Amino acid sequence: MMRNIKEIFVASLLILSMQVSAQETLTLQQVLERIEQNNPGLKAYDRQVKSRQAKVAGAKSWMSPMVGIGTFMTPYPGASAADEDRGALMFTAEQDIPNPAKTRAKTEFLASQSAISETAKLSAFNDLRAAAKELYYDLLVAEKKIRYQKENRRIMQTMRKLAEIRYPLNQGGLNNVFKAEGRSYEAENMILMTESEIRSKKIALSALMFRSPMDSFRIDTSYKVAFMPEMSADTMYHATVHSDIRQMDLRIRSMSLDIKQMRQQAKPDFRIRFEHMANRSEMMPNQYTLMGMVSIPIAPWSSKMYKSDIRSMEFEIDAMALERQAMLNQMTGMSKSMETELLTMQKQLGNYESKILPALSKNLKVSMLSYQENKLELPMVIDSWETVNMAQMNYLDQLQKFYKMIVQYEKSIER
């Protein structure tokens, strides 16, 4: 019976180890590449670009011709008429010919709309990239946290065992055993909470990559997040690089082309009309009419519409230009402000890593050694243990804020 249990246990461990080893390890770069390739939200922008390009292809087309058939100067039934007054059978054909300047302006305007969709995709990917980085960095912090928590749990379990050994020897109270046991279970709860957080973040990251939430993966825990300030992140840099500003520039250009298109409304359009009359009377010859027509859009009652639209669009362009300037100033100020904060946070984290955490860990080791030598009570050791725990959590909270601000900074400079 015991042999069967051992075999089942070993088989379970082997299956578990195979599942763990089968998990794919994804670097941050691989995650971003999969989002760019597979995210349906980004693919939607590709369809929008193709849709607007399809409109460009038909911008220079003409209206379809009109044809008709009917009678011409035919008397009503019952009316007496001479043979030459029997009327005629008439065939007509008519074609509108747009002004070439209008079709060129329309083509340029529709082409500019396609460029806006392409830039909108870059802006959307910048948002998705920032969201993916934040989730990936949260997972890096969570992996650090769970390592700390498991080590702290191991320490407290060791202290509980020592307390259980000392109690029968009258070297410690029963309350110390229960206190160490409670702290051990608290550490277990913290591990469960962190494991749940890791699963949640991975599901969210899988959704961005458009993969099944059930397909587990591992992150590259050796990845080092580094803050590298962009020294040239001035107004000119943002105007050149930032997709939101580039999109606004394209919108302004598109609106200018729309105004150009509206101004072409002052130019005339053309129409050709041909009519053929086949007389019913053999004595009358067949006849035709050929007419060329031109519109007069400069007439006061028809020009008011496009002139008012042009004036409205000009005001909108001025408003958008001012909004663009405000965005540039805000982006530049925000990026410089974040650079200062990040440099300060980087120094604080360096103090945690090189001074605070090592000093508190040494204090805990000394307390544990003193307890083993019966020179210190267990509550004092637990106080040292809790101090280390608190410092570690403070460090990780600060590290997470640091990573989040790096994400926001890189999002602002589109890196």
Residue 37 has pLDDT above 70, yes or no: yes
User: Whats the size of the chain, residue-wise?
Assistant: 415
Question: Which of the four CATH numbers 3.30.43.10, 3.30.450.90, 3.40.50.280, 1.20.1600.10 does domain 29-74+84-332 have?
Answer: 1.20.1600.10
CA dist list (Å): 254 to 14, 105, 260: 63, 11, 10
Mean per-residue pLDDT over the chain, rounded: 84
**Residues contacting 192, CB < 8 A, separation 6+:** none
Picking from 222, 197, 214, the residue whose alpha carbon sits closest to that of residue 135 is 197
Predicted local confidence at residue 269, as pLDDT: 85
Of the candidate ranges 14-23, 130-139, 194-203, 385-394, the one whose mean pLDDT is the lowest: 14-23
**Residues contacting 198, CB < 8 A, separation 6+:** 139, 142, 143, 146
pLDDT digits (tens, 9 = 90+) for 378-387: 888 888 888 9
pLDDT digits (tens, 9 = 90+) for 273-312: 999 988 887 777 888 899 998 888 777 766 777 788 888 8
What span, in angstroms and rounded, lies between the C-alpha atoms of 201 and 218? 11
Quote the percentage of the chain above a pLDDT of 70.
90
Better-predicted residue by pLDDT, 292 or 20:
292
CA dihedral sign, ordered 211, 215, 216, 221: negative
Q: At what angle do helices 28-38 and 100-166 cross, to 10 degrees?
A: 140
Whole-prediction pTM value? Answer: 0.80
Q: Which residues pair with residue 24 across a beta bridge?
A: 217
Domains of the chain, residue spans: 29-74+84-332
